[in-house]
Amino acid sequence: MAFSTAGGGPCSPQMNVTPLIDVLLVLLIIFMLVVIEQKPKGLEAQIPQPAPPAARNIPPPDSTIVIRVHHAKPGTEHAQVLVNEEAVDWDHLRDRLRDIYAIRIERIAYIEADDDIDFQDVADVIAISRIAGVDRVGLLTEDGKHAPMTG
């Protein structure tokens, strides 16, 4: 019994993997391009823009509501709140604003506060006004000009 190893035996089939690797690389590139094109999108925010020079001197219209937050009177813990020069208690502010905006189409309010008022009081007024039905809230600066409104 002699075995010959030099080319005389039957050929075994061999798979050519070069075309399969080419297809694999093309698919890999396609998937990489698809992933790159799908960028994650975060929350959309309205960034305040400075008002044009002509619009800076225009006061808010008379039909808008201005909520003023002033220093607290002695003996009270919250700041004093005025809605269009009408003093309103903190407990009745939401009901008063709800009554005002019940018949209005334009639901915009401006908030003006003293310089050294705690921001928590201003944030409370903003929250109460949003609960009462105000869609947009603008902040008035110390010279009476309005800052861009938030949605």
Q: In sequence order, what are the residues at sequence separation of 6 or more whose Cβ sits closer than 8 angstroms to the Cβ of residue 86?
A: none
Number of neighbours of residue 132 by Cβ within 10 angstroms = 19
pTM for the model: 0.53
- Residues 129-138 have pLDDT tens digits of 898 888 888 8
H helices of 7-92, in order, are 18-37
Determine whether 81 is exposed, middle or buried from the number of CB atoms within 10 Å of its CB (0-12, 13-18, 19+): buried
Q: Is it the case that residue 30 has pLDDT exceeding 80?
A: yes
Q: Which domains does the chain show, CATH number per domain?
A: 65-139 (3.30.420.270)
Q: Is it the case that residue 62 has pLDDT exceeding 70?
A: no
Q: Whose CA is closest to 65, among 44, 49, 88?
A: 88
* Positive or negative: CA dihedral 85, 89, 90, 91: negative
Instruction: Put the strands of the sheet holding 80-83 in their side by side order.
Output: 86-88, 80-83, 65-70, 108-113, 136-139
Mean pLDDT of the chain: 77
Q: Is it the case that residue 79 has pLDDT exceeding 90?
A: no
